[in-house]
């Protein structure tokens, strides 16, 4: 793990611990989610990238979005910190008969100047870095990696969506595995800790993730300070508004085509 991810207390960053991704893999990367990713890439107006676009799937995990993006004819690069998840993404591509390039890298450092027409960061893969400025740096890296006129898409659970929920504990079941999630708001709504418990028969696993929570207005400021010009928000993949019914916070930000960012 790189020194940048020291949490300040000397503890390792949760997202660099492979055990978390292994223990919760069946819940995070289920067949249902893979099918949903396929549907989103096929049908969402937010995913209409030019034919043959160079797409960076930032924090690609096991490639749930990488595969349908490659199948749609895009030249896809998947970047992730986890070598085992990248191996799974390679296998998923092989099995689907599609090609993609994979890079094991940290989103805090990864940038390839003007190498992409679109960058996607899906399924709440943002806000992980302990320092707020490091999360802004991730957006700056995406801006650097985009060609002028390129688009960044970030898909999160927004602060407004969490504030609307009454329940702080949720329970779900998948193939006999029970998942309990308990959310705790930290630092006056700046951050969220989500404690996870997975139970299968007599086997139980626990894990915890802590991430920065952003409202649309806060994310807009971050995107602008990272250099993005056009910034808009949606509350679902159909391109609906980010309002009181929003299910996701989806930011769509454009890199300007001239030196003034227009």
Ligand X SMILES: C[S@@+](CC[C@H](N)C(=O)[O-])C[C@H]1O[C@@H](n2cnc3c(N)ncnc32)[C@H](O)[C@@H]1O
What is the DSSP secondary-structure string of 98-136?
A: ---EEEE--TTT---TT-EEEEEE-SS-SS-SSSHHHHH
Contacts 24+ apart (CB under 8 A), 138-141: 138/58, 138/107, 138/108, 139/222, 139/223, 139/226, 139/228, 139/253, 140/226, 140/227, 141/107, 141/108, 141/109, 141/110, 141/111
Taking the complex as a whole, the smallest distance from the CB of residue 258 to ligand X amounts, in Å, to: 31
For ligand X, the closer of residues 93 and 108 by Cβ is 108
Nearer to ligand X, 59 or 146 (CB): 59
Between 106 and 117, CB nearer to ligand X = 106
Distance in Å, CB of 28 to ligand X, minimum? 6
Cβ nearer to ligand X, comparing 21 with 242: 21
Phi, psi of 178 (to 5 degrees): -100, 135
Q: Closest distance between ligand X and the C-beta of residue 50, in Å?
A: 22
- In the complex, which residues of this chain contact ligand X (CB under 6 A)? 15, 21, 28-29, 59-61, 64-65, 80-82, 85, 106-108, 122-125, 128
How far is Cα 211 from Cα 221, in angstroms, rounded to an integer? 18
- Considering Cα of 130, then 131, then 132, then 135, what sign does the dihedral take? negative
Question: Among residues 107 and 219, whose Cβ is nearest to ligand X?
Answer: 107
CB of 80 to ligand X, least distance (A): 5
**What minimum distance in Å lies between the beta carbon of 248 and ligand X?**
12
For ligand X, the nearest residue by Cβ is 61
């Amino acid at each position: 793990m790189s020194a940048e991810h020291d949490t300040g207390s000397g503890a390792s960053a949760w997202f660099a611990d492979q055990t978390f991704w292994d223990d919760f893999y069946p819940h995070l990367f289920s067949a249902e989610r893979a099918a949903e990713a396929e549907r989103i890439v096929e049908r969402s107006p937010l995913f209409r990238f030019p034919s043959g676009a160079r797409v960076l799937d930032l924090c690609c995990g096991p490639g749930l979005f990488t595969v349908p993006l490659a199948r749609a004819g895009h030249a896809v690069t998947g970047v992730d910190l986890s070598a085992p998840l990248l191996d799974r993404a390679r296998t998923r591509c092989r099995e689907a008969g599609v090609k993609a390039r994979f890079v094991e890298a940290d989103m805090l450092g990864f940038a390839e100047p003007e190498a992409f027409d679109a960058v996607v960061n899906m399924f709440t893969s943002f806000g992980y870095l302990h320092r707020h400025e490091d999360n802004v740096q991730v957006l700056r890296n995406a801006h650097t990696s985009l060609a002028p006129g390129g688009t960044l898409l970030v898909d999160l659970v927004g602060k407004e969506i969490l504030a609307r929920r009454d329940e702080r504990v949720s329970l779900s079941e998948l193939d006999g595995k029970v998942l309990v999630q308990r959310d705790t708001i930290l630092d006056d709504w700046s951050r969220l800790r989500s404690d996870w418990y997975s139970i299968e028969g007599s086997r139980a696993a626990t894990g915890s993730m802590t991430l920065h929570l952003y409202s649309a207005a806060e994310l807009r400021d971050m995107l602008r300070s990272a250099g993005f010009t056009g910034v808009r928000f949606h509350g679902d993949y159909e391109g609906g508004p980010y309002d009181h019914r929003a299910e996701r916070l989806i930011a769509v930000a454009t890199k300007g085509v001239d030196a003034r960012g227009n």
